[in-house]
Each structure stands twice: as C-alpha cells, then as structure tokens.
Structure 1
Amino acid sequence: MGAETEEQPHGAAVVADGFGLKGPRGWAFRKVSFRAEPGTLVAIEGPSGSGRTCLLLALTGRMRTKEGHAEVGGLALPRKMAAVRRITALGQVPGVSELDPAFTVAEHLRERALLQRRYDGSVRALLRRPAERAAASRARIDEAVAAAGLDLDALPKGERTSVRDLERLEALRLSIALALMGRPRLLAVDDTDLKLSDADRAEAWALLRSLAASGTTVLAVCSEAPEDALHITTLAGDDTAEPPAATAKDTAPATGTRLAKDTGKDTAPDATTAAEDTTAEDPATAAEDTAAVGETATGGTTDTTTEEGAADALAETGRA
C-alpha cells in the first residue's frame, strides 16, 4: 500500500538561480532565475532558436549546465542529474523523445508499459503472476490515456492507428500519455503550441492546466504563453543586457530570467539515454560541453546554419 502511495503524482518544486548552459560556440542560455512551486504550470516562452529546449532539457537532468544552479524536487543540478531524471519525464521533444511514425498507438503504449515495469517496478511487482502483471500494465495505460485526454475509440483505427495518421493534437496527447505512465513529479513538453489551430491550442493548454491542478509540475515550451502560467521568457541579446522579469498570474512570481542569444536550432540531441524516464545512472561520459545545437560563435561571428550546430553538438557527445 505504501508503494502505491509513493507512485501518486506529486509535483516537484523548481528553483533556478543564475542557471546557464554553454556549448562549443557560446551560451545557449544564461542567468535564468525563477521559482515554481509544486503543481505549477511553467511556460518557457520565446522565439525559435532562443534556447528554450536546452533550458527544458537542463531542468530535467538531460543536459549539463555551466554556471549557476537549480533544484528540482530538492535535487541539485547539475550534480544530481540522474536523480532528477528519475522524477521527471519528457513528452514530445524533437530529436530526443519523438514518436515513431511507423508504430501504432497500441504499440507505443505497450512498449512504454514494458519499460516501466522493467526499470521502475518493485521486486514484489516483478514476482506477480503474468496475468496480474498484464492487468497492472493495462490499468497504468488506461490511467495515463485518460489523464492525457486521448480518446482511443475516436482515432481512425482505434489503438491500431499509426502515429503518422494522428492529428497534431492527438500526437501531443499520446506523447503526454507515454510520459505520464512513469507517474513523474515533473512533466516537460516541447513545442506545445506548434502547428495547432486556436481551438487545438486551447485544448492543449487546458490539458496541461488539468495535469498541474492534479499535482504534477509542468514545463511547457511555447511561442505564446497563456496568461495564467508562470512565464519564463527567453530572449536573444548580448551578455550585458539586463535580465527581463518573468511574470505570471495566480502563480508564485519569478525573480527574473534571461537567456543569451542562440542563433541555431534550439532542439538539442539527447545527452543522456534513449529511454529518458528510466533509472539509468548519470553517465560519467556526459561531457561538460554537451550543449545546444547552433549557439552564438565567439569573436563577433555567429553560426548561420543549424546543420553546423548539430554537427558540433553530436561531436561533443561522441555520436557524430
């Protein structure tokens, strides 16, 4: 009974103070400072290429930062990146936790259930009879699907619908359902409002609000944040600029945030493992310079192509 209680969603407080990440071509973001209480909806707002995704990955223990510090659920970053990964989960993050377009919805859900049982299940759970384990997995799938608002019966072919045939909002709901199967304390979603109609955008934010209201802290990268979220705005500018204030309505105020310019693509390659929610330890080979693709170059020159930035980042992680 105690184990079941521990698995219930309970948000993680997030605190950042002078948080910064530097790559081989400059700063991806810098001097980020804010505080979010458990169960807060945090919107990381800014133009594409301003380091939003890098900040998201750094706050979930997927990228190693260079300056300042942050805490997620009382766990210090970057020192306890592996522990932070165990209490956080990624929804959609291009290049890191993407859905496989060839998989069906059911295949994605079953695969994630198997991974959760393998890496996060207790010894007692592993000793259950196969029928009991299957029932527990089905219950976890149903719980996550319901929380994400994904209506399987409304899909063109039900659970057998391929990811490539999903509408944008349905794919977003599926990625969130997969993340919720780990019952994380913090959920992170990239490109929340990308290519969504006004109606679908409203539904997406309503979903994230409901998850935050249920107790899970939510970090969402977006181009335009809703007024009731805690705003963390990323801006392009020089290192001497004054940090802009982060604002929010009906949430705890942030002390301010600022990000240095990042002229490349702000979607970073996975700096840890392919299975982001597992209990794998923080690899010792996570290089200090694992950073954003396409940062600002030094000496007054800038990176002009995302391809060059991506090559640099992959070389730094040894995956080129």
Structure 2
Amino acid sequence: MDSTASAPGASVVAEGFGLKGPRGWAFRGVDVTAGPGALVAVEGPSGTGRTCLLLALTGRMKPTEGRAEVGHLALPRKMAAVRRISALGHVAGVSELEPALTVAEHLRERVLLQRRFGGSLRALLRPRAERRAAARERIDTALAAAGLDLDSLPKGERTAVRDLERLEALRLSLALALIGRPRLLGVDDADLKLSDADRATAWAQLRAIAEGGTTVLAVCSEAPADAVVVRTGAPSGTAEPAKTAGTTENAKTAEPAENTKTAKTAKTEEGAADALAETGRA
C-alpha cells in the first residue's frame, strides 16, 4: 500500500546482540530498549563496530548472537521485512551521495526508485500528472523534514553534491531517506567534521525527525544528553541507564564482554570490515 502518511516509528529492542567476523567481534553484548519515535545514539570511537551495529539493526547485516526486534520484527529471521520499514541516510560505502550529481538529480532518482520498488501497482497506474504531483509532494515533505532549503544552495537544486557544505550534504542524505517514509531512519557519522554550531543544528534536526514519529538511529562520537545511548568500545562490564526521547521506556547500554583473544580485533576497523564482507549487505 502506498500510504500518504508516515507510519509510526519502529521500536528497537536488543539483548546480548553481537556480530562476529573472521578476525573477531565487530560488536558484542549490546542491549537497548527504545520506543517508537526515539532518538537513539550509537556512541563510540571509530573502529568499535558502530556502523556494523547500525547496519545490523536496520536489517542489512546478519547478527551472530543475541536477539533483537525492530518494530516487533525479529532479527535475523525478519531481516527483509526490517529493510522494508527502514532507510539509511549517509553510510560510507553503502549509501553515499554521488559527488557529480546535482541535488535535483539525486531527488528525482530516489523518487523513481521509490515508485518502482516501494509503491503499489495502483500508484503506478495513476495518470502522469497525478504521479508528478504526488512525487513533488513527497519530495517537498522530505526536504522540509530534513531542513534542506533548496533556495539557500549556491545554484539551487542544480547545485552539485561536491559543492555542498557538510551539513547540507547531511540534510540531503536525510531527505533522500525520508522520501520512502521509513519507520526507522539510520545515519552514520552524524557529527563527523561538523563545527560545534553545526553539530547542535544536526542533532536538533534529527530530534525533530524523531519527534515527528520516525525512530532515528544515529552513529556519533558524542551523543546528546536527551538520546537513548548505546556505547561501543568501552571496557567490559560497564553499563548505565540513558535518557529516552519520545518514549517512556527505559534504555540501558551494555558494552562487549570481550575475551583476551578478541579484545583487540573487536576494536579495529578490520574487524568491522571483515564482518561486513562475511555477512554481506542488502
């Protein structure tokens, strides 16, 4: 069904969640409870399995141990269903923007893909003028939710991605993901290479998306105080409660219980890359 309204956000629950590659654990022992419309921050240094956790919780990587449910869909058994209700903003090597394309070209391409793979047969049979109007409305809604004003760009919608500032590129990646009206939105490196002011603006935008009903799962180096926090790469045995956003459920963070053989490999980019190569992505 091609709904004109956004579906409610997806709850995210994980217990003892872990993913192992040939060289060790990308992440392990992750616990999180977040209700629909929560802002969930995956916090930790680069190379501690943050991106792998993001991809696993959005149905793009197959976990090795533990259990998780996204929108009451069990992982890994319902990975395909989780992919259908989730979308990715920027994730390096998975959903990157094409520098040579313009903003308008990215938006048109995403709408065409959404119509082809995410729309209903009835929507495809609508008159051309009606389809164009629906596409324009979908784009405008996504741009507003992402906070991207095309008129503020150097060449408007004809601005190439290579000419966008980092915050503008982040907003574009969010808008492209939101065109599909997902219940769960994942974004990697949400605060990478941002000034303090831009970082605050980015988190405000992600918070607004969550308050609009879409659950947001964002990888970062430093989480905001009001997010559901999941930390990676800290010493074994540490866990602490975190505040929730848009939900009354409590959240907790749990760090990997690594043994001496896997402690080093779990904290390297190699471990994360190997896990991605081994499990694949869809």
TM-score by length of 2: 0.91
2:55 to 54, 57, 60: 57
Deviations 1:145-176 (A, max 9, x none): 11111010010000000000000000000000
Q: Which amino acid is the alignment partner of residue 207 of structure 1?
A: Q
Name the counterpart of 2:253. Answer: 256
* CA contact 2:10–2:184 (8 Å) conserved in 1: yes
How many residues of Structure 1 are paired with residues of Structure 2 in the alignment?
Answer: 279
Q: Which amino acid is the alignment partner of residue 316 of structure 1?
A: E
Name the counterpart of 1:279. Answer: none
Gaps of 5+ in 2: none
Q: Give the Å deviation of 1:253.
A: 2.1
1:316 to 275, 278, 281: 278
* CA contact 2:40–2:217 (8 Å) conserved in 1: yes
2:217 to 216, 219, 223: 219
Q: Give the Å deviation of 1:256.
A: 3.2
Name the counterpart of 2:92. Answer: 94
2:144 to 143, 146, 155: 146
Q: Give the Å deviation of 1:123.
A: 1.1
Q: Give the Å deviation of 1:301.
A: 6.8
Matches of 1:19 and 1:303 in 2, distance apart? Answer: 14
Deviations 1:127-156 (A, max 9, x none): 111221111111111110111110100100
Structure 1 moving runs of 4+ over 6 Å: none
SS at match of 2:240: coil
Q: Give the Å deviation of 1:318.
A: 8.0
1:129 to 124, 127, 130: 127
Name the counterpart of 1:285. Answer: none
Gaps of 5+ in 1: 262-295
2:77 to 76, 79, 85: 79
Name the counterpart of 1:210. Answer: 208
* CA contact 2:43–2:223 (8 Å) conserved in 1: yes
* CA contact 1:32–1:258 (8 Å) conserved in 2: yes
Q: Which amino acid is the alignment partner of residue 65 of structure 1?
A: P
Matches of 2:77 and 2:91 in 1, distance apart? Answer: 23
2:41 to 31, 43, 47: 43
Matches of 1:198 and 1:300 in 2, distance apart? Answer: 32
Name the counterpart of 1:117. Answer: 115
Matches of 1:258 and 1:303 in 2, distance apart? Answer: 12
Q: Which amino acid is the alignment partner of residue 123 of structure 1?
A: L
Q: Give the Å deviation of 1:86.
A: 0.2
Name the counterpart of 1:4. Answer: 3
Summarize the Cα distance change of 1:303–1:208 in structure 2 as closer, same or farther, 3 Å threshold: closer
Q: Give the Å deviation of 1:249.
A: 5.4
Matches of 1:95 and 1:256 in 2, distance apart? Answer: 27
Q: Give the Å deviation of 1:258.
A: 1.4
Q: Give the Å deviation of 1:228.
A: 0.7
Matches within 5 A, 1:9-24: 9-24=7-22
Matches within 5 A, 1:222-233: 222-233=220-231
Q: Give the Å deviation of 1:99.
A: 0.3
SS at match of 1:30: strand
Higher relative contact order (CA 8 A, sep 6+): 2
Matches within 5 A, 1:236-315: 236-237=234-235, 241-248=236-243, 252-259=249-256, 298=261, 302=265, 306=269, 310=273, 312=274
Matches of 1:101 and 1:40 in 2, distance apart? Answer: 31
Name the counterpart of 1:199. Answer: 197
TM-score by length of 1: 0.81
Q: Which amino acid is the alignment partner of residue 172 of structure 1?
A: L
* CA contact 1:28–1:260 (8 Å) conserved in 2: no
Aligned CA RMSD, in angstroms, stands at 2.4
